[in-house]
Structure 1
């Protein structure tokens, strides 16, 4: 395995305590809570953090152990990520217990590497931001426990971060980075307006398309912690559809099947298989990929013959063909046709999402695309066209904003930056002393996890509005019912000891 670390733009390989155990490699409310809404309302008067502010971000929601140190003015001082691709590839998906064990083996080395890259020790930090949900409880607990241990030892604030909000906000950081680079290179006068706009990052309000292996949704971002869900997937996430299709076509899925499928699709004819674009008769922003996945399976059966899954990952169905040069063109045609329809579905919904958003917030100026699937070049090209059409005749055009690919997948930088944004609004808390006054590893510590944590309130026209409302209400009840009175906060909470 490998530990991938960056400091000042450099990347190097270094060994952790146990490379075999770490399996390291680069890859891959709100419901607004009452507390979140209050901080969002107070945010307008919040002042920027001092450049000397240093926030450590920790991410462990799924199968990437990420960490980073980011300054108050948006400089990434160090970042590292430990991936578990090799561990989970043979199983065809993330195995929670194995993921937890890998996180536990990697977390100390990842954090130490980041602090070393930044040239600081933990005592010099201002706060620790950590993903508390949504995600796998076993995995989340590893990161949260580590964050609490550091915060208690050094008297630091802890900032709880929503995983998907971190994805949505990282574009505000990367746009500032672009402005900094343009200034350093001496931007031409013709580019001054662009540099000036980028200096503020991505201004609120904006529309965000979150596309990953676990989530697919359109958000209208009004401010930090203040989101309207314009639409979401009614069944499978788009990233899962890419992964399943890649596996079905015999492609390697370590690090996610999306990149492998995109590479194969480049060799194929996107019109070869007449897959239907899902839900075109439904005038909403909701998404659906389950039917498309099924259509791909039937097409593979018909065009390649045999079963539908490999290595027994789906019901142990037998496959009667093997990927080879002889059937590569057929597989490429299926991949290209799937990608065309999946991207068209997202673009159709993006067009409507911008329309709905502008009805509520006329000054929406950006469509931010975040999550692992945001790295897909075909999707980016399609969304550029959507933004161009949406901008026709407008004084304030809509621009497409895509973070660099390494910030599209799970990472510590996005969590650290979300922590910076929240600290600016007065969020963050000093943890109470542990029972008995001991700081032993997790003993007596109340670890707050939110494995199912809605982000935002649903748009009234969304197909999924009823189910989302019910989920939001159930999490609000959980928060007040199950959490100790001294620790009760708005939002869902799950106790883990």
Structure 2
């Protein structure tokens, strides 16, 4: 494949020391996003089109509907991102796209759009792991120090990732059943709260000083894995028992009890991992990183332990293309480009994507 960038000079450098402009496309779930980022750190545009209003009536993301919405909006979002950035298509260095994991139909829309751009503009194509994007969203606002541990908490993922050096990932803990964000949505549904449930539970949890007592799933003493399915079942059992007695529980007390249980486990295991692996920083990443209760608890524990906590601003916690561009820059600098035959991989493994 003929490429403008990296064809006659070293990887990660354009002729004449020009800046590297990466256009990135993110369509892994229900946000359509396109961004242009300079040198892996400076966001020139980051346009996000959310489908929350569309999926709210269903109480969750409907994959087929999400795919169709991506098809409807992707072209407009690309045009808007280019216009906002002030960077002409001819000045772009590469096109990046979320390769996986995610909903296969949604991923395919972004993949086709990115491949079309790369082919038309004769630019290199870079496939990006969605979770690598969430982790390196922090690079857009912070200076990273290796090795670090990343706590990734989103609707589909709850993982502890040890990053020994740039772009080299090792998953040391992951969910065995429901991800934290998924548990939040299911408990919110039981409380008859709107979708997505996380922000509503977080808000309710701060409206009371005392929560319903609920269990913590610590698993084996040396395990960094997570399990929230039992907690979700305990919430449903508590609601049903109270309803049968004619003494319904206050939603805010349930929300606080549930959130306290989730946060206790996340914080304790994350800090234990930081100590065990000699990490210089703890990074928070993923959609649930926007949770105020989780942020406050981590800030307090990290301050107590003398561990720097890095977290992206709320706008970079949820799915967005700027984070994909940040992670793509790692591959760009090494000249690790993908062929146009690149396939969307709904179950793509993070460790396999390492640079």
TM over 0.5: yes
Provide the secondary structure at the position in 2 that maps to 1:428: coil
The structure showing larger relative contact order (alpha-carbon pairs under 8 Å, at least 6 residues apart) is 2
| Alignment partner of 1:408 out of 308, 311, 317 | 317
Match of 1:222 in 2: 164
Change in Cα spacing, 1:264 to 1:206, as seen in structure 2 (3 Å) is: same
What's the Cα RMSD here?
2.3
In the other structure, the counterpart of 2:152 is: 210
* Counterpart in the other structure of 1:424: 333
Q: Which runs of 5+ in 1 are unaligned?
A: 1-44, 176-200, 307-320, 359-363, 392-397, 432-445, 457-471, 473-489, 492-497
Q: Which runs of 4+ in 1 moved over 4 A?
A: 45-51
Tell me what 2:110 maps to.
Answer: 143
- Which residue does 1:287 correspond to in 2? 226
2:238 to 299, 304, 316: 299
Paired position in structure 2 for 1:454: 349
8 Å Cα contact 1:212/1:237 also seen in 2: yes
Distance, in Å, in 1 between the alignment partners of 2:44 and 2:220 is: 49
Q: What is the CA–CA distance in structure 1 between the aligned matches of 2:179 and 2:339, rounded to whole Å?
A: 36
> C-alpha deviations, 1:50-82, integer Å up to 9, x for none?
562110010000111111000116221111111
SS in structure 1 of the partner of residue 152 of structure 2: strand
The equivalent of 2:7 in structure 1 is none
* 8 Å Cα contact 2:38/2:44 also seen in 1: yes
Gaps of 5+ in 2: 1-9
Contact 1:64 1:83 in 2 (8 A): yes
Q: Structure 1 residue 84 and structure 2 residue 48: aligned?
A: no
1:429 to 1:290, Cα distance in 2 relative to 1, 3 A: closer
TM-score by length of 1: 0.66
Matched, 1:95 2:56: no
- Other-structure match for 1:183: none
Matches within 5 A, 1:486-497: none
Greater CA radius of gyration, 1 or 2?
1
5 Å-filtered alignment, 1:97-496, equals 97-175=64-142, 201-253=143-195, 256-270=196-210, 272-279=211-218, 282-305=221-244, 330-358=250-278, 364-391=279-306, 398-429=307-338, 431=340, 446-456=341-351
- Aligned equivalents of 1:351, 1:164: Cα separation in 2: 20
CA contact (8 A) 2:20 2:92 kept: yes
1:223: how far off? 2.6
- Matches of 1:161 and 1:280 in 2, distance apart? 32
